[in-house]
Amino acid sequence: MSTSSSEDVRSRMMSRRAVVGAATGGVALALGLRGADAAPFSAPTLLLQEPTEIRFWHQEAVPKRVEVFQKFIDAFNAENTDIRVVQESQGWDTAFSKLVSALTAGNPPDVMLSLPALTMTMQSRGEIIPVDDIVESVNSKYTLVESQLTPFKYQDATWGVPMWGMTFLLHYRTDLLEGAGVADPPATWSEWLDASKKMTGGGKYGIILPANKNLFTTENFYTMMINTGGRIYGPDGKIAFSSPETVEALTFYKDMVKAAAPPDATSLDWGTWEQALLRGIGASTNGFSSWRQAMDETELKDNWSAVAQPAKDGGKPGQIHYPNNFMVFKQAEAKKEAITRFTEFMHQPEINGEWLATMEPTLYLPITEASQKADSFWSHPVIAAHKPMVEKQLEVLPLGQLYGFEDPGAYNPTVGEFEGSGVLGEIVQRMVIEDLSPQEAADFGQTRIEEVLKLQ
Amino acid sequence: MASTSDTSEIRLERLPPEAIPIVRDSGGSSTGVLLSLPATLLILVVIVFPFAYVAGMSLFDEATGTFVGTTNFRRVLSSTDFLPSVWVSLIWTISNLVIQTVCGLALALFLNQRFRGRDAARTLFLVPFVVPTAVVALMFSWMVNSSFGVINYLIVTSGMSDMPLNFLGDPRYALPTVILINCWRWIPLVALIIFSILQGIPRSEYEAARVEGAGRWATFRFISYPYLGRSMTAIGLLGILLTFNIFDLIWLLTAGGPVGRTMSLPVLIYDFAFGRQDLGAAAAASVLMFLMLLVFTLLYFQRRDFKEDL
């Protein structure tokens, strides 16, 4: 054999050894890993143990809010190296459809930010587990505002952990009110209608009030039903829409829309609502304060103030509210301890305060006594600039009420369909467009709600 | 075989059948099956399976998983929304078809003339089509807004109306407004398709007609229209089906309102599924809509001009 042939054979043997060696090493590694899986306490296993992953869904898809979520998730993950929270965001419009798809595929999130109606829908379908232990843990440390818990307690358990609150106030232009010769902001319905009429004119409208088939109108109308004692569901769970109290609310709402709302009230949505305020077209609005930060960048920023929603003369004070909550899916029961730690972390007062203030200042409110005192909340520049308004929101928060949850322990599993269908907005829209009398609208509404909720 | 009895003429004669060699199939059909397999699988996965799933869902109560037979169908057919939505869909489809065809044809005939900047104009015509639907909806909803929209500003300042018009919230205007917005989007594309057909007509025919003294209408009637007619039959079917199925623009502009005046069948199906969370009713309405369009398509295929084109 020649030298070159010997070298050739050697190189082939070496390359063959390299291949065999690599293959053997690969097999050993695979077996080692498999062994690690089977033997949890072996050294390789301890080195390779994965943290418990929590898939967390929320509907705050605005990029700024996603960033804020990520900041606190990163802080939690750094502090709790055996847990890894991963956020996935989508808009509210697509949340239900995506959730249904995920549940059908057997791949829902572990924990999801929700609202009372969606939480009850998931509970009625057997998809979520009780969270009494988590609520007890948070409550014992930080004391939750009771009105925020009410919508989640039914069927002898608690199904959601409230994380923040949102509530209505009457926001009004101080300069336009003064210009209309009205000395004080309205405190009753009669004062409210009068002031709204006086502020209408010259291309301005006394109140940006919707009459469209959407959740925006549902909220604006239901908040007035609260003051008259009108209800969607009766204590027996049946639809109790057509009543003298509802007629009273419909009468007032129609009068306000006709006298003081823009002509496109029947097509108003949140986007055009905010634009109307920012452009100075609207003199007042009864609602959330999501527009407040954008208003601070306009010339009108110092011309706004807020008071509690005026109550019907001799009626019950109160307004609509939306507690936002965590709900835990049944597939994540084994991760409940990790989810509890994440929830408690987000409820720590200074963390909670900073989280809610930076996400959307003045819109999302802390709902524990401890976090309502957090420096991190009150020191935020926007919160500090609108301190009187935020204090007023916290003051009225205990008076918050929501359709379907009027009675403690109320169980109305169709409330999710009621909310999603926009049927209350549809009733108001039909009343305004077809000029139905309030009684006709109430009777139509009774039948229509029963039809939409398949309760006929 | 060619015979050359006359050197100035070559005649091709048919070969007797027995002279034609038989070419054996060397596995070409199995190759064809294999080659078409990916596309077939794609159709099965993307179209057939989802449809079968929805058809199955229409027979169940989605919330409890129990078999309910035709209950969902009966609920849909007896609801106060179904027939009005079919009617809205018919008006929507026919109106879009007529307006887009007439305006598209006019635009195409205009483009068929030679003028400076024609190529640039042709490119610009694609702009409405490439703008995303969400952007179109947002843009027009703000333009027609009664408080700050430019269209109402022009209407009021020009004296056409004392008050701004509620284009998307007034039941008199909502459906026509949505139809016109959709036409704005599609007319340029229709024009370009018709224009490309017109470009295939030999120029010599137009010149011959001009020499013969034919006017514009006669030229269109006897030259352009015969060429267009054949292609428009197939394109028309596609246009009808696509237009009937449009959901996104209507939903983004009006969500089917006001008071159901723009609630077409696709919008109603979406409302059943994700507004009322009634997937059974949504599935049943989807099956009914499929059957309606299937019947229409089969009847359309019976058209004589469609059969002749095949």
Say whether pLDDT at B51 is over 90: yes
Dihedral sign for Cα A333, A338, A340, A346, please: negative
* Contact call for residues A212 and A290 (beta carbons, < 8 A): no
* Contact call for residues A302 and A173 (beta carbons, < 8 A): no
ipTM value greater than 0.90? no
Q: Which residues of A touch B (CB under 8 A)?
A: 96-97, 100, 121, 124-125, 205, 212-214, 262-268, 271-272, 275-276, 279, 281, 416-417, 420-422, 426, 429-430, 433-434, 451-454
- A chain contacts of residue B257, beta-carbon cutoff 8 Å: 212-213, 266-267, 426, 429
Q: Tell me how far the alpha carbon of residue A211 is from its chain's centroid.
A: 22
Distance from CA of B288 to the nearest CA of A (A): 20
Give A167's strand partners.
A321
Q: Do A213 and B168 touch (CB under 8 A)?
A: no
Task: Please enumerate in sequence order all residues whose Cβ is within 8 A of that of A251, keeping only pairs 6 or more positions apart, or say none.
Answer: A438
Q: Tell me how far the alpha carbon of residue A246 is from its chain's centroid.
A: 26
Residue B231's pLDDT band (boundaries 50, 70, 90)?
confident
- B chain contacts of residue A279, beta-carbon cutoff 8 Å: 147-148
Classify residue B27: in a domain, yes or no.
no
CATH of residue B173: 1.10.3720.10
What is d(CA A428, CA A225) in angstroms, rounded to the nearest whole number?
A: 12
Three-state SS for B34-48 is HHHHHHHHHHHHHHH
Residues B75-127 pLDDT 10s: 999 999 999 999 999 999 999 999 999 999 999 988 888 788 888 888 888 88
- A chain contacts of residue B79, beta-carbon cutoff 8 Å: 451
Classify residue B41: in a domain, yes or no.
yes
Q: Do A214 and B255 touch (CB under 8 A)?
A: yes
Classify residue B258: in a domain, yes or no.
yes
**Omega before B258 cis (within 30°)?**
yes
Distance from CA of B295 to the nearest CA of A (A): 30
Please state the φ and ψ torsions of residue A122, each to the nearest 5 degrees: -65, -40
Classify residue B266: in a domain, yes or no.
yes
| Minimum Cα–Cα distance from B174: chain A residue | A267
- The residue that leads in pLDDT, A39 or B38, is B38
Low-confidence ranges of chain A (pLDDT < 70): 1-48, 456
What number is the average pLDDT over the span B134-163?
92
Q: Do B148 and A279 touch (CB under 8 A)?
A: yes
Return the half-sphere exposure (C-beta side, CA atoms, 13 A cut-off) of residue A13. 6
Residues A328-354 pLDDT 10s: 999 999 999 999 999 999 999 999 999
| Minimum Cα–Cα distance from A208: chain B residue | B147
Q: Where are the beta strands (DSSP E) in A90-196?
A: 111-114, 153-154, 157-158, 161-164, 169-173
Which residue of B54, B60, B147 is the best one to mutate when testing the A interface, meaning the one whose CB has the most A CBs within 10 A?
B147
What number is the average pLDDT over the span B248-271?
95
Classify residue B12: in a domain, yes or no.
no
Structurally, chain B folds into a number of domains equal to 1
Q: Do B170 and A266 touch (CB under 8 A)?
A: yes
Distances (CA, A) of B129 to A359, A443, B174, B296: 37, 45, 22, 27
Q: Which domain holds residue B289?
A: 37-309
Q: For the stretch A16-43, what's the b/e string if a residue is b when 16 or more beta carbons lie within 10 angstroms of its beta carbon?
A: eeeeeeeeeeeeeeeeeeeebeeeeeee
Q: Do B168 and A263 touch (CB under 8 A)?
A: no
Residue A25: the pLDDT is 43
Show the domains of chain A with their CATH numbers: 52-165+323-391 (3.40.190.10), 169-320+422-452 (3.40.190.10)
Residue A132: the pLDDT is 97
Q: Do B258 and A267 touch (CB under 8 A)?
A: yes
A233 torsion bin: left (phi>0), alpha (psi -120 to 50), beta (else) = beta
Residue A166: the pLDDT is 96
Classify residue B281: in a domain, yes or no.
yes
Say whether pLDDT at B13 is over 80: no
Instruction: State the DSSP H helix or E strand holding residue A57, giving kind and residue range, or none if neither.
Output: strand A52-58
Classify residue B8: in a domain, yes or no.
no
Write down the mean pLDDT value for chain B: 86
Instruction: State the DSSP H helix or E strand holding residue A54, giving kind and residue range, or none if neither.
Output: strand A52-58
Classify residue B198: in a domain, yes or no.
yes
Q: Is B273 on the interface with A (CB under 8 A)?
A: yes
Residue A13: the pLDDT is 43
